[in-house]
Structure 1
Amino acid sequence: MAAASHTTVNGHGAPPQGWDDVPRPGEADDEGTASGPFGFGSSLLTRAAKAVASQVQRRVPRADLDERDPDYIRETLPRLWLLSSLYFRGEVRGLGNIPDEGPVLLVGNHSGGNMTPDTTVFSLAFHAYFGVERRFHQLAHNLVLNWPGLGFLRRYGTVAASPENAKAALDAGAAVLVYPGGDREVHRPSWQANTIDFGDRTGYVRLAVEAGVPIVPVVAIGGQETALFLTQGETLAKLLRLDKALRLKVLPISLAVPWGLNVGDVLGHVPLPSKIVVEVLPPIDPREEFGDDPDVDEVHEHVTRLMQDTLDALASERRLPVIG
């Protein structure tokens, strides 16, 4: 998020993302890709930083699944189509691998900094293929849902990232999109663009096992070519104690339009028109393939290996960065 009618802060529009870091009640979710404001010396950003700090300390709100508005999605799909199909020349393969009905956990890799074009492209394809009436929810940091101007994400089905909210959406029969790589993966350096980086975040596997739903991997390429990503800024975040003050573990640095040197990507950026390709893989039933009591690490390794093999294949098809 991170699915919205255009690219937005946090991959769905970001998403979810690091299930081992999703907060329990009273804790903060530090995995979202919406970085806090760090425009040093700016009174506006200083006030924004205080607001961010306040939100970080808040409990992750319980999802109101009824905020999703199919009529609103239907009305805004033309704008989504313009961005996805014309600007990013989006191509989505394998949508038929997603079960036609019932709950499913869609597990994606995350790219593009706080602007997440892969989510935009996939969201359009999902709604066009299955129709806007099918329940589809995306998980995002609670900061994203409280960020000025991004309230419309709730109407697209975006809910605050927590195991409880994800379970509630699955129990309601929804397709739920998660990004286990979170802020670390979405800000990875450009030379690591073709790497699946979930780290040791395996909570999505436990969620699928406990909910009894299949895992459907969603692999995307092109998002990390929309800017020049230099560093995730984990060391810088620690030096500035952002991990303590705001529970933000990264302070990414990139070269992006229109800012030039872009620190934090808090205000987003204008993504380059990179060609985005998304491939959906066949569903994985953890219990059917790994036994009644599947080993979480074994399932995680299997999922990430399949996704990495697919990403390698997609990378071999590309001729030039951005051009595709």
Structure 2
Amino acid sequence: MSNLDHRPARVRAQAQRHAKEARAAMEERRSDHSGGLSGWVAERAANWDLSGQDETTLQRQKYLWNVLVDYWFRMEIDGWENIPESPPALLIGIHSGAPFVWDAWTVGLQWWRRFGQARALHGTAHDALMAIPLFGRYFRSMGVLPAAPDAIATALAEGRDVALWPGGEVDSLRPWTERDQANLAGRTGFVKMAIRAGVPIVPIATVGGADAMPVLIRGDRLSKALRLDRILRLKVFPLAVSLPWGIAPAALPQLPLPAKIRTRFMPAVELDNDPARAEDDQYVDRKYHEVQDAIQEGMDALARKRAFPLFG
């Protein structure tokens, strides 16, 4: 457990109990989905740990990431004063694109630049991405965890900061016309998780990531027709504008367009750490909307700085 952990002993113990329960529940759930492609995905995604970012990998790749962040995306980031002085915290935001959600990856790099190994940030990714051999291995080397309750609850219980994008593929692959709309897809589980872990929520507002790969259609019906919603838990199968393909499935490897990314950490949303609050639907819903509204407020402010539709 991080010795920087700001929580009282009672709350830390509560977080540990919740993490243990989450691991047991996910183990049972994964065993129910054993066999077939979905079972293979679940089994590989379950292979996670809290070793964090691999410093050697980061040092080797920092020059490439520096070029992407500083010159290709020309990233602006502010609001660091809203990050709690000591961990853990749950960062909640929106993200764009697939499989590399550039507005999410750039947050991770900027965090590493600021805090280094002294305060690692665990990003999260869809099970399907964590299961792909090359992608999954790379994601793990960058400290990424599967966006599953057991991994997130355990990281928070151990005093780690975690960044989560609850909207998942519904959010990251939203049409370009909705690029400046915060959409957490009605998924309130992150609020319950933060309550049980006794941590604040820091909303992340960002614009520009959707311009790096403009999505033309979400592909909800196509996903169902291909049964991707059942096999891989993918509710969408979008078509996007990308290099070098032109208009093609968004999942293809691609070179992002040189969109300007602007990101802001919004003031933390404090929560009651009484675990009973996690069962109070009205309270959970209110906090969910408080977080989503904070993200939208930040996005509106950042979008007003945009000089050009695609390139910032």
The TM tier, using the shorter chain, reads 0.7 to 0.9
* Amino acid across the alignment from 1:212: G
How many angstroms does 1:200 deviate by?
1.3
| 2:301 alignment counterpart | 313
1:126-178 Cα distance to aligned partner (Å, 9 max, x none): 11111233121111123322323221221211112211110111122111010
8 Å contact from structure 1 (residues 275, 323) kept in 2: yes
Cα offset, 1:187, TM superposition: 0.8
Q: Secondary structure at the match of 1:180?
A: coil
Aligned mates of 2:245, 2:37 — CA distance in 1: 22
Does residue 302 of the first structure (1) align with residue 304 of the second (2)? no
Inter-CA distance 148–269: structure 2 relative to 1 (3 Å threshold): same
Q: Residue 143 of structure 2 aligns to which amino acid in structure 1?
A: G
**Alignment check: 8 A CA contact 1:67 1:155 kept:** yes
1:95/1:239 Cα in 2 relative to 1: closer, same or farther (>3 Å)? same
Alignment-derived partner of residue 123 in structure 1: 108
Gaps in structure 1 of 5+ consecutive residues: 1-22, 29-50
Q: Which amino acid aligns with 2:303?
A: A
> 1:33 aligns to what?
none
Runs of 4+ in 1 over 4 A off after TM superposition: 51-54
| Cα 1:100–1:161 shift into 2, 3 Å | same
Deviations 1:195-233 (A, max 9, x none): 011121010000100000010011110011113311111
User: 1:284 is matched with which residue?
Assistant: 269
Q: Aligned letter for 2:43?
A: R
Q: Does 1:94 align with 2:79?
A: yes
Partner of 2:145: 159
Q: Which residue pairs with 1:6 in the alignment?
A: none
Aligned length: 279
Are residue 238 (structure 1) and residue 243 (structure 2) matched? no
Q: What pairs with 1:30-69 in structure 2 (closer than 5 Å)?
A: 53=38, 55-58=40-43, 60-61=45-46, 63-66=48-51, 68-69=53-54
How many percent identity over aligned positions? 33
TM-score w.r.t. the length of structure 2 is 0.82
Tell me the TM-score normalised to structure 1 length: 0.79
SS at match of 1:250: coil
CA contact (8 A) 1:112 1:225 kept: no
Could you tell me which of 31, 50, 61 is aligned with 1:76? 61
Aligned to 1:48: none
Cα distance in 2 between the residues matched to 1:52 and 1:261: 28
Is this contact kept in 2: 1:135–1:173, CA < 8 A?
A: no
Structure 2 CA distance, aligned partners of 1:233 and 1:27? 28
| Counterpart in the other structure of 1:14 | none
Aligned-pair CA distance for 1:27 = 4.4
Q: Secondary structure at the match of 2:287?
A: helix
For the Cα contact (< 8 Å) 2:41–2:131, is it kept in 1?
Answer: no
**Structure 2 regions of 5+ residues with no counterpart?**
1-24, 31-35
Q: Residue 259 in 1 paired to residue 245 in 2? A: yes
The alignment yields a C-alpha RMSD, in angstroms, of 2.5
Quote how far apart the aligned CAs of 1:53 are.
4.9
Match for 1:25 among 24, 27, 33?
Answer: 27
Taking structure 1 as reference, are residues 78 and 133 closer, same or farther at Cα in structure 2, changes over 3 Å only?
Answer: farther
| Counterpart in the other structure of 2:170 | 184
8 Å contact from structure 2 (residues 37, 231) kept in 1:
no
